[in-house]
Amino acid sequence: MDAAAEALLRQTVRRIPSSKLNGVLGRWGCLSEAQLGSLESMQPKWLLCDNLISLCRENDLSMKHVAEVEMLYCIENPKRGMWYAYQMVETDDEAQSLELMHFRERFKAHLKDLIGHVSIKLKRHQDESVWIRIAWGDNFNRPNHLKPTYVMHHLQTPYVFVSGLTNKHKPLLFQALVLAAGYSSIKNAHLNGRCITALRDLLMRQYKQVFPSSCPKPLKESNPLPNPNIENEHAKLVEHKQRAAAEAFGYEDPPKLERATYKLETKYREHGNESLNGRDEPFRGVVKFTSSNLLESLKYCITSGAYLFHSGKYHTLELLICCLNYHSCFPSFL
């Protein structure tokens, strides 16, 4: 086991919390039961690491195996880095359906053509997604495993999530991906964050948006056994609002969106006051929304409503529902 593999193993073991270490090593499968048992988790981390390295030497493991540990941990805990979402676009209409082996061969071949010294690892996860770990090198250096790039891709969709990619390697990776998957180009989906499942849900619209229908089905009871002694005077209104919120944002918990930025650039036009019209510079505006969970808080706004009891009339936040129609008005997330 060479120095680089040792360094990677140390770095990986440092990052994995002790509670999860045994689980990850068990799933790795490169150490025997006896060896796993000999590693006590109550030791200090550096001692554990030394023992682990000596065990790996016994088993004659190499960089390849060590990279697998890191990849296993990253797949189970993708929250460590910032993930950026990209979408692949094709100009011709035929959609190619790909299967894993095909994609894998093509991707490896293309990337190795573009840059000679890379180390690639592909893994298929249970939920039909492909995880790729890439360590970049160049003509003078061996592949640097301490700073790998991770890519997650669902084969039948055009979306790709990337973490840890430098600008130097970006065009190479994109070209290899696009050629391997059979698309014609790739563009930025303007969506990034730490929680990859939220990004995936948002992009692939896996959380269901219900469209308003003229005969709405009754909502499921949110409280399991409503107390017969408690009655809400505005029960119908409350139900109407909950339905409106569910139609706009879905019945389950919405994905966690923390920041949304709207950029507007338009020509100013006002009918009454002509002084500002016809300027050359367009009017620009930026609106930023920040929250710990934007969609959840907007959904709560709709269900709680804005009640103004002035002579029996009330206003609700239906304006927001129109603004936030997912399919048309969300130009960019940042």
**Residue 308 touches other proteins, criterion: CB under 8 A:** yes
Only segment of 32-40, 58-66, 179-187, 305-313 that touches other proteins (CB under 8 A): 305-313
Residue 56's identity, in one-letter code, is: C
How many Cβ atoms sit within 10 Å of the Cβ of residue 61? 20
The least CB distance from residue 308 to other proteins, in Å, is 7
Residues 210-239 that bind other proteins (CB under 8 A): 227, 229-234, 236-237
CA distances from 18 to 54, 72, 194, 225 (A): 19, 15, 22, 43
Q: What is the 3-state secondary structure (H, E, C) of 58-117?
A: HHCCCHHHHHHHHHHHHHHCHHHCCEEEEEEECCCCCCCCCCHHHHHHHHHHHHHHHCCC
Answer whether 160's CB lies under 8 Å from 151's CB. yes
C-alpha 16/C-alpha 66 separation (Å) is 13
Give the strand pairing for 159-163 and 149-154: antiparallel
Q: By rule CB under 8 A, what count of residues binds other proteins?
A: 15
The residue among 228 and 278 lying less far from other proteins, judged by its C-beta, is 228
Q: Which residue from 44, 272, 285, 312 is in contact with other proteins, where contact means CB under 8 A?
A: 312
Residues 234-263 that bind other proteins (CB under 8 A): 234, 236-237
Which member of 304, 323, 326, 334 binds other proteins (CB under 8 A)?
304
Nearest CB to other proteins, comparing residues 34 and 230: 230
Of 133 and 243, which CB lies nearer to other proteins in the complex structure? 243
Is the Cβ of residue 192 or residue 303 nearer to other proteins in the bound state?
Answer: 303
- Binding residues vs other proteins (CB under 8 A): 227, 229-234, 236-237, 304, 307-310, 312
